[in-house]
Amino acid sequence: MIVVFAALVAAISGAMAQPAPIMPDWMEDLGPGMTYTYGEYATQRGVGQAVFAPETLNSQLKFSAGQVSADITQTATTSIQGTQVGMDRQLLTQQANAYAATLPGYTIDAEKDAQYTTMVLGIEKGQSAAVSTMLISGLAQGLDANGDGTPDDHYQGEHNLIWAVAPSWTGTFSDTGSIAAQGLTLKESLTGATVTVTTQDLDSSLDPSYQIDPNSGCVGAGEYWKGYAIPGNPVDYSKQTKVNGPLDTSLGQLTEAYAASSSYATLTQTKTVTSGTVTTVNSLDGGASLDAAFENAILGGDNAVALKFNTGSQPFTFWWQ
């Protein structure tokens, strides 16, 4: 054991003693007038809570050098629905990078290719939010059972309503990104995208949508109704029907859930020579995704896990100016 340990120490010491190269290999490819500017970051936050509270992580990458400048901001927020049992642990992560490669101005030369790349700008971003806990279905109350802003009470008395809420985990993501060089700016943004992991009935056709609060003391108290009010002027309540109860609160359990957002964009500026004339072409490549995952969900025979994606008030948007 002593010999093995001594060998390990020697190996580590030897590795640490090796001098790092002063210049990375890619620097050998830079010629006169060429520049390459790069920045990156990664951050994460982990929390343990006896009672769930929403978490928010904000981060920013910002740098400038010469004619190059970059600014990336990201925001991730968490939320749940249903009933939390026991403690929870949340992990939020964010990472991003931006780069700009510029080459000297193009000179018409019959010995050169007809196309010549003079600049490349790039942005990459990613965020995630994960939870480990025990989330089960529960009950909620209010005036608007389906969250569309219209009170759903069939009797139009704005009575307090009660409805079942499935366990769910939601990550909400927003970001902006830009990198500029030589008067050209590549931009990308996202506002309010949501990724939700939840459970649901495989067949909810007979389940009540809500119950009128039995303690309301008003007409219809304790009744169960299927369907919601349809917004309009006037509001349409004709699609609602009275059904038998009770509310279904056996909607399974979420244990670990994950939500994420990512995107990338690359802008390439190319000079093209045609009949002695130089034309500048800016071409844009990009992509984006919303992702979700779950582990150890506990379901009954009529339950399922549903993954829901919404790109928010402003979806992934890419442009240059």
Domains of the chain: total: 1
Say what the pLDDT of residue 109 is: 63
Say what the pLDDT of residue 133 is: 95
Over range 25-29, report the average pLDDT: 83
Say what the pLDDT of residue 18 is: 62
The token pair at 143 is: 């005036």
For residue 181, being part of any structural domain is answered with yes
Taking the CA atoms of 135, 141, 143 and 145 in sequence, report the sign of the dihedral they define: positive
Say what the pLDDT of residue 146 is: 87
Say what the pLDDT of residue 317 is: 97
Say what the pLDDT of residue 8 is: 47
Taking the CA atoms of 7, 8, 9 and 14 in sequence, report the sign of the dihedral they define: positive
Over range 142-151, report the average pLDDT: 91
The token pair at 164 is: 């079942």
For residue 74, being part of any structural domain is answered with yes
Over range 14-33, report the average pLDDT: 75
For residue 156, being part of any structural domain is answered with yes
The token pair at 247 is: 């509310």
Say what the pLDDT of residue 287 is: 97
Say what the pLDDT of residue 6 is: 55
Over range 16-22, report the average pLDDT: 67
Greater model confidence, 257 or 24 = 257
For residue 20, being part of any structural domain is answered with no
Q: Is the pLDDT of residue 41 over 50?
A: yes
In angstroms, rounded to a whole number, what is the distance separating the alpha carbons of residues 313 and 193? Answer: 7
For residue 212, being part of any structural domain is answered with yes
CA within 13 Å, CB half, 98: 22
**Model confidence over 278-296: pLDDT tens digits?**
788 899 999 999 999 999 9
- Domain span at residue 277 reads 33-320
Say what the pLDDT of residue 147 is: 87
pLDDT classification of 199: cutoffs 50, 70, 90: very high
3-state secondary structure the chain: CHHHHHHHHHHHHHHHHCCCCCCCHHHHHCCCCCEEEEEEEEEEEEEEECCCCCCEEEEEEEEEECCEEEEEEEEEEEEEECEECCCEEEEEEEEEEEEEEECCCCCCCCCCCCEEEEEEEEEEEEEEEEEEEEEECEEEEECCCCCCCCCCCCCCCCCCEEEEECCEEEEEEEEEEEEEECCEEEEEEEEEEEEEEEEEECCCCCCCCEEECCCCCCCCCCCEEECCCECCCCCECCCCEEECCCCCCCCCEEEEEEEEEEEEEEEEEEEEEECCEEEEEEEEEEEEEEEEEEECCECCCCEEEEEEEECCCEEEEEEEC
Q: Is the pLDDT of residue 1 over 60?
A: no
Average pLDDT of every residue of the chain: 89
**Residue whose structure tokens are 């130089």:** 278
Q: Are strands 184-201 and 303-310 parallel, antiparallel or unpaired?
A: antiparallel
Say what the pLDDT of residue 43 is: 96
Least confident of 12-26, 40-54, 62-76, 92-106: 12-26
In angstroms, rounded to a whole number, what is the distance separating the alpha carbons of residues 128 and 91? Answer: 8
Q: Is the pTM of this model over 0.75?
A: yes
For residue 21, being part of any structural domain is answered with no
**Number of residues written out for the chain:** 321
Say what the pLDDT of residue 95 is: 97
For residue 17, being part of any structural domain is answered with no
**Model confidence over 221-233: pLDDT tens digits?**
999 999 999 999 9
In angstroms, rounded to a whole number, what is the distance separating the alpha carbons of residues 232 and 150? Answer: 9
Q: Is the pLDDT of residue 150 over 60?
A: yes
